[in-house]
Chain A
Amino acid sequence: MYQEIILDHYKHPHGKGLSSEFASEVHHVNPTCGDEITLRVQVLADGKIAVSYDNQGCSISQASASIMYDQINNFDFAAGDKAVEHLIAMLQRNVEPDEDILGDGIALVGVAQYPARVKCALLAWMAWKDAAIQAGAIEEQS
């Protein structure tokens, strides 16, 4: 489960730090273990969604947030949501990992073998979806 690429993201997270410009902010927690993320989004004029976040928690939740930032920052809702749905399907072992959609996120495939950790891997992505919907990103989509 702990591939080198996951550990790299954990030790050197990408995009961590909250932006002061945002349309919505969400705070998601994993109540069984205490992983937490605060995530903000700003919907840009072209429907793209700028994301920023701050978090604490286990290596899987933190690495996954870093990968989320790499993959879907500045995506519109449909493109970002496609990645979220692919990640969910991969963690449920319903699809083969697609690197074009998930990038480094395909390294999270090992998490599927540990049902207790799936929520850790999904936390940031579900927070993104929640914040994007709250910010009205579906309507803004071009």
Chain B
Amino acid sequence: MSALDVASIRADFPILKRTVRNDRRLVYLDSGATSQKPYQVLDAERNFYENHNAAVHRGAHQLAEEATDAFEHSRANIADFIGARADDLVFTKNATEAINLVSYAFLNATLKATRNLPLPDGAERFVLNVGDEILVTEMEHHANLIPWQELCDKTGATLRWIGLTDEGRLDLSDTSLFTSKTKMVALTHQSNLLGTVNDIGRIVIAAKAVGALVLLDACQSVPHMPVDVSKLGVDFLTWSGHKMLGPLGIGCLWGRTELLAAMPPFITGGSMIETVSMQGSTFAAPPKRFEAGVPMAAQAVGLSRAVDYLRELGMENVAAHEHELTVAAIAGLQGIEGVRIIGPTDATDRGSAVSFVLDGLHSHDVGQVLDENGIAVRVGHHCAWPVCRRYEVPATTRATFYIYNDLTDVTALVDGVHAAKKFFGV
């Protein structure tokens, strides 16, 4: 018995009513890339534009006041969803920008310190010296890898990483990776390719023991399971709105109050200042320090409504529902000769991203046959190329499940893979 009433949920998603490729029912198994949006979110965004649209934090007119209220109410509501204070939540364009915001805090603090320029109190935590270390893992999405590679290139810091076991989990046997030189540990909560849910408590203990900060990429966890920053122990949390029923174009960075206050700005311009003269400027307190330019108010309102939608379902129920589908998908796919799951086959501490390869057939071809059957999956390296290299596969086919999927969709996936095998004779 599912934890969710999928039929009534599906009725909220207009796109699920359309058909694809020769009038096939749409089986959408690509929510790990982006989720679909319910009427409630679309209506909230439209209502903002129809009735309250104005540039927020500017102007003295009534619309500006209403738009600002809607924007800041959304911030508070979204922050509450992860157990945070409104002032500790920064809106960004997407999760990638949120991670870059933190990596550039390190770079900018380091550059300014080199020139003895004024920095916020506490910014020394973000100043890197040659030989300092940034620790990531081999399962990171490129968004949580390349910003740190770049930061190390520019500062002379060293990038280290935690490797993976054959089962698709972090290999935490080498505790020497955490050293007094480690300044930041950046890792994913749930791997977007493997589905692995990492033991964050263990990472936090190891990081704190050496005085390192911890950034958690929560793109694949906040939409799918209860996440509470007051319990996780991490210092930064980043995620995107569009993977959790919200609009495109909005991401989130949560940071500890004292850390955000100590960080120099990333993108500069209007709205993020305190005073400006031709000789120089001072900057606003967080979160505005990190939100230069007219912000994405309508998207914030839409994401806030998405948060309400998920809260009404209950994140425990969302996680339980996805777990049921994940167990069924792994069992179904493993029952097909020639299929190999890339990632844990044990559904414990595992999310709903299920990647697999089929002997003798590239994932593009698997995806194409699935598409002909109306099944939307992701193929390729999923912006996690090092994971493909680790498991010596050029690419994988990935199905991801969400609140509007049910066991019928799992059956369609398994039947579709059988069809691909038959079609290509492998």
Contact = CB atoms under 8 A, between A and B. Distances in A.
A57 B360 CA distance: 10
Interface string B368-399: 10000000000111000100100000110000
B394 A59 contact: no
A58 B380 CA distance: 10
B365 interface: yes
Contact of B424 (A1, A32, A33, A59): A59
Contacts of B424: 7, 59
Contact of A114 (B368, B380, B394, B423): B368
B379 A1 contact: no
B364 A117 contact: yes
A105 B388 CA distance: 31
Nearest to B364: A58
B394 A60 contact: no
Contacts of A36: 394
Nearest to B380: A33
Nearest to A36: B394
Contact of A1 (B363, B368, B394): B368
B256 interface: no
A34 interface: yes
B381 A58 contact: no
A60 B364 contact: yes
Given A32-B380, A34-B388, A58 B423 contact: no
A92 interface: no
Nearest to B388: A34
Contact of A33 (B361, B364, B423, B425): B364
Interface string B402-426: 0000000000000000000001110
Interface size class of A (residues with CB under 8 A): 10 to 19
Nearest to B366: A58
Nearest to B379: A33
A34 B381 contact: yes
B10 interface: no
Contacts of B362: 33, 35, 57-59
Given A33-B379, A33-B380, A34-B394, A58 B365 contact: yes
A81 B6 CA distance: 55
Contacts of B395: 33-34
Contact of B394 (A11, A32, A56, A117): A56
Interface in A93-139: 114, 117, 120
Contacts of A33: 362-364, 379-381, 395
Contacts of A114: 368
Interface in A30-44: 32-36
A114 B379 CA distance: 14
Contacts of A58: 362-365
B368 A34 contact: no
A36 B362 CA distance: 12
Contacts of B365: 58-60
B22 to A, nearest CB: 12
A13 B380 CA distance: 23
Interface in B96-150: none
A114 B368 CA distance: 9
A56 B394 CA distance: 8
Contact of B368 (A11, A32, A35, A117): A117
Interface string B330-373: 00000000000000000000000000000001111100100000
A34 B425 CA distance: 22
Contacts of B385: 34
Contacts of A35: 362, 364, 394
A57 B379 CA distance: 12
A25 B361 CA distance: 27
24 contacts: A1-B368, A2-B368, A7-B424, A11-B425, A32-B380, A33-B363, A33-B379, A33-B381, A33-B395, A34-B380, A34-B381, A34-B385, A34-B388, A35-B362, A35-B364, A56-B394, A58-B362, A58-B365, A59-B361, A59-B364, A59-B424, A60-B365, A117-B364, A120-B364
Interface of A: 1-2, 7, 11, 32-36, 56-60, 114, 117, 120
The 5 A-B residue pairs with the shortest CB-CB distance, nearest first, are: A58-B364, A58-B362, A34-B394, A34-B395, A33-B380
